[in-house]
């Protein structure tokens, strides 16, 4: 089994020393760098390049620079997706955003995690679990979403939150760790 196959299966895999994964990350980061250097007024080039980076997009999306991701092909973005500046997606596993998702500045989505055992970490091992964000979700600025988390439809994540566990539909959730504070009627 290759390291890429182990990653896709949710197993520990070696991301730091596997040349295939290193090459894929380097190619993606080169494209992200190009995207971030484009003029904001050059909408046609920005749209073309972001669709080259991201695995699957709908028609109407906007990702303000700077944008960084690891592979790109593991990201799926729905219709009317908007992200403010400084979005980071560590997409070692699938990251799926529904329709009408709005993301504030300086937000991060991390599918990658590392073993608690220092020997395994030092060997370059990590795991990756998917992240899913439903439809009609608003994520405030400076939010971090950790591996394996799902955020339900119509929910709001307050600024500065660290989302460590699944968030249900139709709620406002805030804090570190992020917790439900209100149900949206």
Active site residues: 114
Q: Left, alpha or beta for 117 (phi > 0: left; psi -120 to 50: alpha)? A: beta
Of the candidates 127, 133, 94, 95, the one whose C-alpha atom is nearest the C-alpha of residue 7 is 127
Q: Are 100 and 136 in contact (CB under 8 A)?
A: yes
Q: Are 115 and 14 in contact (CB under 8 A)?
A: no
**Cα(145)–Cα(158) distance, integer angstroms:** 12
Q: Using the CB atoms, write b or e for 32-59: b if 16+ within 10 Å.
A: beebeebeeeeeeebbebbeebbbebee
**Cα(5)–Cα(1) distance, integer angstroms:** 6
Residue 76 makes CB contacts below 8 A (sequence gap 6+) with 54, 55, 56, 57, 94, 95, 96, 97
């Amino acid at each position: 089994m290759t390291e890429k196959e182990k990653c896709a299966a949710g197993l520990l895999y070696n991301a730091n020393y596997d040349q295939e994964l290193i090459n894929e990350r380097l190619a993606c980061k080169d494209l992200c760098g190009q995207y971030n250097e484009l003029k904001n007024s050059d909408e046609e080039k920005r749209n073309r390049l972001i669709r080259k980076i991201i695995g699957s997009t709908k028609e109407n999306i906007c990702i303000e620079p700077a944008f960084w991701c690891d592979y790109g092909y593991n990201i799926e973005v729905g219709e009317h997706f908007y992200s403010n500046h400084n979005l980071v997606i560590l997409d070692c596993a699938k990251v799926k955003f529904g329709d009408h998702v709005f993301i504030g500045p300086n937000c991060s989505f991390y599918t990658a995690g590392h073993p608690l055992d220092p020997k395994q970490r030092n060997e370059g091992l990590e795991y990756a679990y998917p992240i899913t964000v439903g439809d009609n979700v608003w994520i405030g600025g400076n939010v971090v979403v950790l591996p394996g988390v799902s955020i339900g439809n119509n929910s709001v994540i307050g600024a500065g939150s660290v989302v460590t566990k699944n968030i249900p539909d139709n709620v406002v959730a805030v804090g570190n760790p992020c917790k439900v504070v209100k149900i949206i009627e």
